[in-house]
Amino acid sequence: MLSGELVTLRAIERDDIEVLHGFDMAYETWPEINYAPYAPKALEEVLKAYDGDEESSYRGSDAFVPFSIVVDEEVVGTCCFWGIDLHNRRAHLGIGLGEEHRGRGIGTDATKVMLHYGFVDRGLHRIQLEVLASNAAAIRSYEKAGFREDGRMRESAWVRGQFEDEVYMSVIATDR
Ligand SMILES: CC(C)(COP(=O)(O)OP(=O)(O)OC[C@H]1O[C@@H](n2cnc3c(N)ncnc32)[C@H](O)[C@@H]1OP(=O)(O)O)[C@@H](O)C(=O)NCCC(=O)NCCS
Protein backbone atom coordinates (compact mmCIF):
# COMPACT_ATOMS: atom_id res chain seq x y z
CA MET A 1 0.00 0.00 0.00
CA LEU A 2 1.21 3.51 -0.81
CA SER A 3 0.32 6.46 1.40
CA GLY A 4 0.16 10.20 0.94
CA GLU A 5 -1.17 12.96 3.17
CA LEU A 6 -4.77 12.24 2.21
CA VAL A 7 -4.80 9.09 0.14
CA THR A 8 -3.92 5.46 0.20
CA LEU A 9 -3.19 3.77 -3.11
CA ARG A 10 -3.73 0.03 -3.23
CA ALA A 11 -4.40 -2.70 -5.77
CA ILE A 12 -7.84 -2.61 -7.37
CA GLU A 13 -10.03 -5.26 -5.74
CA ARG A 14 -12.88 -6.88 -7.67
CA ASP A 15 -15.32 -5.25 -5.23
CA ASP A 16 -14.01 -1.76 -6.20
CA ILE A 17 -14.95 -2.19 -9.84
CA GLU A 18 -18.62 -1.26 -9.55
CA VAL A 19 -17.73 2.14 -8.05
CA LEU A 20 -14.81 2.76 -10.42
CA HIS A 21 -16.89 1.73 -13.42
CA GLY A 22 -19.55 4.26 -12.35
CA PHE A 23 -16.88 7.02 -12.32
CA ASP A 24 -15.42 5.87 -15.65
CA MET A 25 -18.79 5.87 -17.43
CA ALA A 26 -19.56 9.54 -16.58
CA TYR A 27 -20.49 11.26 -19.84
CA GLU A 28 -19.31 14.68 -18.59
CA THR A 29 -15.63 13.71 -18.23
CA TRP A 30 -15.44 10.93 -20.85
CA PRO A 31 -13.45 13.09 -23.36
CA GLU A 32 -10.93 14.11 -20.69
CA ILE A 33 -10.03 10.47 -20.10
CA ASN A 34 -10.77 8.56 -23.29
CA TYR A 35 -10.02 10.70 -26.37
CA ALA A 36 -12.71 8.71 -28.15
CA PRO A 37 -16.48 8.88 -28.68
CA TYR A 38 -18.66 8.04 -25.70
CA ALA A 39 -19.11 4.27 -25.67
CA PRO A 40 -20.52 3.02 -22.37
CA LYS A 41 -20.09 -0.58 -21.28
CA ALA A 42 -22.33 -2.56 -18.95
CA LEU A 43 -20.87 -3.47 -15.55
CA GLU A 44 -21.45 -7.15 -16.34
CA GLU A 45 -19.33 -6.88 -19.50
CA VAL A 46 -16.53 -5.15 -17.60
CA LEU A 47 -16.52 -7.77 -14.83
CA LYS A 48 -16.48 -10.55 -17.44
CA ALA A 49 -13.35 -9.03 -19.01
CA TYR A 50 -11.73 -8.67 -15.58
CA ASP A 51 -12.48 -12.31 -14.69
CA GLY A 52 -11.42 -13.67 -18.08
CA ASP A 53 -8.46 -13.18 -20.41
CA GLU A 54 -9.71 -10.01 -22.10
CA GLU A 55 -7.92 -6.70 -21.64
CA SER A 56 -9.24 -4.92 -18.56
CA SER A 57 -8.46 -1.42 -17.32
CA TYR A 58 -8.84 -2.78 -13.78
CA ARG A 59 -6.20 -5.53 -14.01
CA GLY A 60 -2.48 -4.78 -14.19
CA SER A 61 0.21 -6.16 -16.51
CA ASP A 62 3.94 -5.58 -17.06
CA ALA A 63 3.30 -2.24 -18.75
CA PHE A 64 0.22 -1.18 -16.79
CA VAL A 65 -0.08 -0.70 -13.01
CA PRO A 66 -3.49 0.49 -11.80
CA PHE A 67 -4.42 1.53 -8.25
CA SER A 68 -7.58 2.34 -6.37
CA ILE A 69 -7.39 5.72 -4.64
CA VAL A 70 -8.83 5.33 -1.14
CA VAL A 71 -9.67 8.11 1.35
CA ASP A 72 -11.10 7.21 4.76
CA GLU A 73 -11.72 3.64 3.51
CA GLU A 74 -13.81 4.88 0.57
CA VAL A 75 -12.76 4.26 -3.03
CA VAL A 76 -12.75 7.74 -4.60
CA GLY A 77 -10.97 7.14 -7.90
CA THR A 78 -8.22 5.40 -9.73
CA CYS A 79 -4.73 6.17 -11.00
CA CYS A 80 -2.19 4.22 -12.97
CA PHE A 81 1.04 4.04 -14.84
CA TRP A 82 0.44 2.89 -18.40
CA GLY A 83 2.83 2.38 -21.29
CA ILE A 84 5.66 1.58 -18.88
CA ASP A 85 8.79 1.55 -21.04
CA LEU A 86 11.72 -0.10 -19.26
CA HIS A 87 14.28 0.74 -21.94
CA ASN A 88 13.63 4.47 -21.82
CA ARG A 89 12.61 4.29 -18.15
CA ARG A 90 9.44 6.28 -18.66
CA ALA A 91 5.73 5.83 -18.06
CA HIS A 92 2.46 7.69 -18.56
CA LEU A 93 0.36 8.74 -15.58
CA GLY A 94 -3.42 8.39 -15.69
CA ILE A 95 -5.81 9.59 -12.97
CA GLY A 96 -9.54 10.14 -12.44
CA LEU A 97 -11.73 10.80 -9.40
CA GLY A 98 -15.47 10.55 -8.92
CA GLU A 99 -17.07 13.96 -9.43
CA GLU A 100 -17.96 14.41 -5.75
CA HIS A 101 -14.33 13.86 -4.70
CA ARG A 102 -12.71 16.50 -6.91
CA GLY A 103 -11.34 19.88 -5.85
CA ARG A 104 -10.20 18.82 -2.37
CA GLY A 105 -6.52 18.11 -3.04
CA ILE A 106 -6.97 14.37 -3.45
CA GLY A 107 -5.78 14.28 -7.07
CA THR A 108 -2.64 16.27 -6.30
CA ASP A 109 -1.82 14.07 -3.32
CA ALA A 110 -2.33 10.87 -5.35
CA THR A 111 -0.16 12.28 -8.16
CA LYS A 112 2.65 13.06 -5.70
CA VAL A 113 2.46 9.50 -4.35
CA MET A 114 2.66 8.12 -7.91
CA LEU A 115 5.72 10.29 -8.64
CA HIS A 116 7.49 8.94 -5.55
CA TYR A 117 6.52 5.38 -6.46
CA GLY A 118 7.64 5.84 -10.07
CA PHE A 119 10.99 7.45 -9.36
CA VAL A 120 11.95 5.69 -6.12
CA ASP A 121 10.41 2.22 -6.34
CA ARG A 122 10.43 1.73 -10.09
CA GLY A 123 13.54 3.70 -10.97
CA LEU A 124 11.79 5.64 -13.73
CA HIS A 125 13.54 8.62 -15.28
CA ARG A 126 10.52 10.36 -16.80
CA ILE A 127 6.80 10.42 -15.99
CA GLN A 128 4.62 12.01 -18.61
CA LEU A 129 1.01 12.67 -19.52
CA GLU A 130 -1.27 14.30 -22.06
CA VAL A 131 -4.13 16.55 -20.96
CA LEU A 132 -6.73 18.59 -22.84
CA ALA A 133 -5.86 22.29 -22.80
CA SER A 134 -9.33 23.09 -21.43
CA ASN A 135 -8.85 20.79 -18.41
CA ALA A 136 -7.69 23.60 -16.11
CA ALA A 137 -8.24 21.69 -12.86
CA ALA A 138 -6.09 18.77 -14.04
CA ILE A 139 -3.31 21.04 -15.35
CA ARG A 140 -3.27 23.00 -12.09
CA SER A 141 -3.20 19.78 -10.07
CA TYR A 142 -0.32 18.36 -12.16
CA GLU A 143 1.63 21.61 -11.78
CA LYS A 144 1.16 21.52 -8.01
CA ALA A 145 2.55 17.98 -7.99
CA GLY A 146 5.63 19.05 -9.99
CA PHE A 147 4.75 18.55 -13.69
CA ARG A 148 5.92 21.05 -16.30
CA GLU A 149 4.58 21.66 -19.78
CA ASP A 150 6.71 20.09 -22.55
CA GLY A 151 4.67 21.47 -25.42
CA ARG A 152 1.36 21.27 -27.22
CA MET A 153 -0.18 19.32 -30.05
CA ARG A 154 -2.31 21.92 -31.80
CA GLU A 155 -5.95 20.94 -32.33
CA SER A 156 -5.15 17.26 -31.97
CA ALA A 157 -8.28 16.20 -30.09
CA TRP A 158 -11.92 16.24 -31.23
CA VAL A 159 -13.82 17.21 -28.09
CA ARG A 160 -17.50 18.07 -27.74
CA GLY A 161 -17.84 19.15 -31.34
CA GLN A 162 -14.59 21.05 -31.81
CA PHE A 163 -10.84 20.54 -32.02
CA GLU A 164 -8.71 21.23 -29.00
CA ASP A 165 -5.00 21.37 -28.17
CA GLU A 166 -3.43 18.65 -26.09
CA VAL A 167 -0.83 19.72 -23.53
CA TYR A 168 2.13 17.42 -22.96
CA MET A 169 3.53 17.49 -19.43
CA SER A 170 6.31 15.64 -17.64
CA VAL A 171 8.47 15.33 -14.56
CA ILE A 172 12.07 14.16 -14.87
CA ALA A 173 13.70 12.40 -11.92
CA THR A 174 16.27 15.21 -11.66
CA ASP A 175 13.53 17.90 -11.45
CA ARG A 176 12.80 16.81 -7.91
C1 LIG B 1 -7.86 15.96 -12.62
C2 LIG B 1 -8.20 15.49 -11.22
C3 LIG B 1 -7.63 14.09 -10.98
C4 LIG B 1 -7.53 16.49 -10.22
O5 LIG B 1 -7.81 16.06 -8.92
P6 LIG B 1 -8.46 17.07 -7.86
O7 LIG B 1 -8.47 16.39 -6.54
O8 LIG B 1 -9.76 17.57 -8.38
O9 LIG B 1 -7.39 18.25 -7.88
P10 LIG B 1 -6.91 19.16 -6.68
O11 LIG B 1 -8.07 19.52 -5.81
O12 LIG B 1 -5.75 18.51 -6.03
O13 LIG B 1 -6.37 20.45 -7.48
C14 LIG B 1 -7.18 21.10 -8.41
C15 LIG B 1 -6.66 22.52 -8.60
O16 LIG B 1 -7.26 23.06 -9.77
C17 LIG B 1 -7.93 24.25 -9.45
N18 LIG B 1 -9.08 24.36 -10.33
C19 LIG B 1 -10.24 23.68 -10.29
N20 LIG B 1 -11.04 24.06 -11.31
C21 LIG B 1 -10.34 24.98 -12.00
C22 LIG B 1 -10.61 25.75 -13.16
N23 LIG B 1 -11.76 25.62 -13.83
N24 LIG B 1 -9.66 26.62 -13.59
C25 LIG B 1 -8.46 26.74 -12.95
N26 LIG B 1 -8.15 26.03 -11.83
C27 LIG B 1 -9.08 25.16 -11.38
C28 LIG B 1 -8.30 24.11 -7.98
O29 LIG B 1 -8.56 25.35 -7.39
C30 LIG B 1 -7.01 23.45 -7.46
O31 LIG B 1 -5.94 24.36 -7.38
P32 LIG B 1 -5.56 25.14 -5.99
O33 LIG B 1 -5.28 24.09 -4.97
O34 LIG B 1 -4.37 25.95 -6.37
O35 LIG B 1 -6.75 25.97 -5.60
C36 LIG B 1 -9.75 15.48 -10.97
O37 LIG B 1 -10.24 16.80 -11.04
C38 LIG B 1 -10.51 14.58 -11.93
O39 LIG B 1 -10.63 13.38 -11.68
N40 LIG B 1 -11.03 15.15 -13.05
C41 LIG B 1 -11.80 14.36 -14.05
C42 LIG B 1 -10.93 13.34 -14.79
C43 LIG B 1 -9.73 14.00 -15.44
O44 LIG B 1 -9.81 15.09 -16.00
N45 LIG B 1 -8.58 13.30 -15.37
C46 LIG B 1 -7.33 13.80 -15.93
C47 LIG B 1 -7.22 13.47 -17.37
S48 LIG B 1 -5.68 14.08 -18.07
Distance from C-alpha of 130 to C-alpha of 149, rounded to nearest angstrom? 10
pLDDT given at position 58? 97
Distance from C-alpha of 148 to C-alpha of 176, rounded to nearest angstrom? 12
List pLDDT tens digits, range 47-83.
Answer: 999 999 899 999 999 999 999 999 999 999 999 999 9
User: Domain span at residue 98?
Assistant: 2-175
Distances (CA, A) of 57 to 14, 32, 35, 103: 12, 16, 15, 24
Instruction: Kindly list the protein residues whose Cβ atom lies closer than 6 A to any atom of ligand 1.
Output: 29, 32-33, 77, 95-97, 102-108, 131, 135-138, 140-141
The helix or strand, by DSSP H or E, that contains position 116, with its residue range, turns out to be helix 106-116
List pLDDT tens digits, range 126-137.
Answer: 999 999 999 999
List pLDDT tens digits, range 143-171.
Answer: 999 999 999 999 999 999 999 999 999 99
Query: In the chain, how many domains are there?
Result: 1
The answer on pLDDT for 176 being more than 90 is no
CATH (domain of 124):
3.40.630.30
Among 40, 104, 93, 31, which residue's Cα sits nearest to residue 67? 93
